[in-house]
A and B are shown apart, each in its own frame.
Chain A
Amino acid sequence: MTEVRLFSTCLAEEFFPAVPEAVVRILEGLRLSVRPIRRAFCCGQAAFNEGLREQAIDLARRFVESCEPGTPIVIPSGSCASMVRVFYADLLRDEPALAERAAALRPWIYEFSQFLVGVLKVKYLGARYERAVAYHPSCHLLRELRVTNEPLDLLSAVSGIRLVALPRAEECCGFGGSFSVKFPHISAAILEDKCMQIEQSGADTVTAADCGCLMQIGGGLHRRKSRVETLHLAEILARR
């Protein structure tokens, strides 16, 4: 059986444990053996974005030493996958040995939907979800990894689903990591627009492939007492 590594990400492990569980179920359903990466916990993005370079390098070291090139590494988060695939190159500029390891890993790093559609070439997973779903393309997935259609391809293959168009979908949800707590009023103003678009779309579920956005959008919708539910893409794809 072919092996894949799963990097659950700290945010999902702590706040959305159902997400890595769903990813494991889906990948195992495709006859892959999933070996979670346990020797790393966080990719270092939070520290990196906060300007804490040394702390970020420490975590990047942890990550690159916890896996080997040659086995695909699946990450159910657009921004964590971007961190490893794109931003490690900048972060590790002055750490040649680490940078080399990171560069060797780079082609093996995949965001979840990217892996399913781009590598495994599957779209239909036997999922059933009979609700109206809006997809929010998270910024890093869209603009750093250029993953645009993959999540929508996967969603369209779900039985019973009704995909609704989200107006101005490509606008940021306002999360931005530490931005959301350092500038909470701006973050919330951006979120307000996003929540209004979601509510107006007629969706009863909003989904994304990034736990950061889901934390923000879910928290916003819940505070507004909205009936729209927030689910990670993998959670929908694991429904039967």
Chain B
Amino acid sequence: MRSQKPAQRFIVASQAAVADSSLRGKIENATGRHLEQLALTRAAFAPFEAERDAARQIKHDAISRLDELLFELRTRLEKNGCKVFFAATAAQARQYVAGVARAAGVKRVVKGKSMTAEEVGLNAALEGVGAQVFETDLGEFIVQLRGEHPSHILTPAIHLSRQDVGALFHEKLGVPQSDDPQVLTAAARDHLRNVFLSADMGITGVNFAVAETGTLVVVENEGNGRLAHTMPPIYVALMGIEKVIPKLGDLSHFLEVLARTATGQKLTAYTSFISGPRRQDEADGPQEMHVVILDNGRGAMLADPVLREALYCIRCGACLNVCPVYRQIGGHAYASAYPGPIGAVVSPAIFGPPAAHLPFASTLCGACREVCPVRIDIPRLLLHLRWNATQAPEAREWPRPWRRVTRGIARFSRLARHPRLARLTGRILRTLCRPFARNGYLRRMPPPFSGWTRFRDFPTPGGRPHQPGSGPK
């Protein structure tokens, strides 16, 4: 299995996922509930569309002068007493944070939710310098107990039911079996409270970083993020370069759309504004605060005038929930910290060739663009990436059935340049297929259509025979 190429792994993993009807049911349930809630909250907030436009405009401006804003952000953060590190790559980010942990002799790290940490593989690096890492977001805590990665950027354990979680907690935490979410949450909280009290380092992601004030904004619902950035003596914030926004006044537009789209709430339960480590006159807060600002492929997205729009993403996760593909296969099959539609857009830039096939795993239905709070034209970006991918050398190593399809379409397109010849070919095909047709359909087709007829019948070239009474007169 390990020797399989990433594209082949995607096929195998997604085949296993669609064959797992219980997985599909769980995802269907969770995403369906989310979408209902989202529709209600949005409908109850008249200025929603205007807020989306405002948020998009701010991102557009911020991304177009990112260098300037990042410089301003760094200056303000340093003035506030933070140590700022620009990491060009995931490896640099890992080394920096692991270095801080090693230097301070950190034994226990508590993490708030951070997809960026997932992206760079931070946990393994910290464990490598002898620190024990505790995920404290409930969903992340659950997947960590299972030795898995998150399957959704917002709801990491979306692939599990409360019965699954009950069984897991019973096994791993020794609590009585239960499927009551309140009981299970209380069990996790009990378990984590002591961890918070004894941790020497806290790590969180960042939702927005305000350049003019050097304020990091973290939104969450469980309070674990707030504990992670206030209790341990060392706090590390990890953010992508695209998280910076110009002014504190810009923030309201994002807060109006983020929670409404992410969870269907008006506002998340905790919105923290972090401006630096503990000051001399303050009684609490971390003594030391580091801000790691990560590029890791984002600069390349910025340099691409089409792809740049992907940097507007505020990681609400809604595009995953509406995506017909994600809803059938879940997040793990993508083998990326960022699954789903936006994942298929950003993963090739962040993770390189191993993710180059992901833009093809979409029907281009456009439901993602419809739900996106900052109106990212995801289908357009996927198409753009498909052009790039077809040119790239790894396309030659993709699974044979895919290459056959691509070749078939190329051949068809060359033929279609000559309409007469194409129509003649069509007539020949009809004659050839007619003997095999049953009721206007073919049950089996040769490659590249064999995948089609594995699951569906294929219409006979030339169309259905006219049945008495049913065909148009």
Contacts and interface: CB of A to CB of B under 8 A. Distances in A.
A129 to B, nearest CB: 10
Contacts of A140: 364, 366
Interface string B405-432: 1100110111011110011001001000
B409 to A, nearest CB: 5
A56 interface: yes
Given A41-B416, A218-B457, 16 more contacts: A13-B426, A22-B472, A39-B419, A40-B419, A46-B409, A50-B406, A52-B406, A56-B413, A139-B367, A143-B367, A171-B324, A172-B367, A174-B324, A181-B405, A215-B459, A235-B472
Task: Name the 6 nearest CB pairs between A and B, nearest first.
Answer: A176-B363, A51-B386, A184-B451, A188-B455, A219-B456, A51-B390
Interface stretch (B93-101, B176-184, B213-221, B463-471): B463-471
A180 to B, nearest CB: 6
B270 interface: no
Contact of A223 (B389, B457, B460): B457
Nearest to A56: B413
Interface string A75-87: 0000000000001
B89 interface: no
A49 B386 CA distance: 8
B413 A42 contact: yes
Given A40-B419, A216-B456, A14 B426 contact: yes
Interface residues of B, number: 68
B328 A189 contact: yes
A195 to B, nearest CB: 10
Interface in A1-23: 10, 13-18, 21-22
A47 B415 CA distance: 12
B330 to A, nearest CB: 11
Contact of B401 (A39, A42, A175, A182): A182
A172 B363 contact: yes
Contacts of A223: 455-457
A62 B419 CA distance: 9
Interface residues of A, number: 69
A47 B363 contact: no
Interface of B: 11, 14-15, 18, 24, 324-325, 327-329, 360-367, 369-370, 380, 383-384, 386-391, 401-402, 405-406, 409-410, 412-414, 416-419, 422-423, 426, 429, 439, 441, 448-449, 451-452, 454-464, 466, 470-473
A174 B464 CA distance: 22
Interface string A30-66: 0000000011111010111111110110110010000
Contact of B325 (A18, A41, A186, A220): A186
Nearest to B455: A188
A51 B412 contact: no
A223 to B, nearest CB: 5
A186 B441 CA distance: 21
13 contacts: A17-B462, A51-B389, A56-B413, A58-B413, A87-B383, A144-B366, A174-B324, A179-B360, A183-B14, A186-B325, A189-B24, A191-B456, A219-B459
A140 B380 CA distance: 13
Contacts of B405: 50, 178, 181-182
A181 B449 contact: yes
Contacts of A13: 423, 426
A184 B454 contact: yes
A77 B419 CA distance: 19
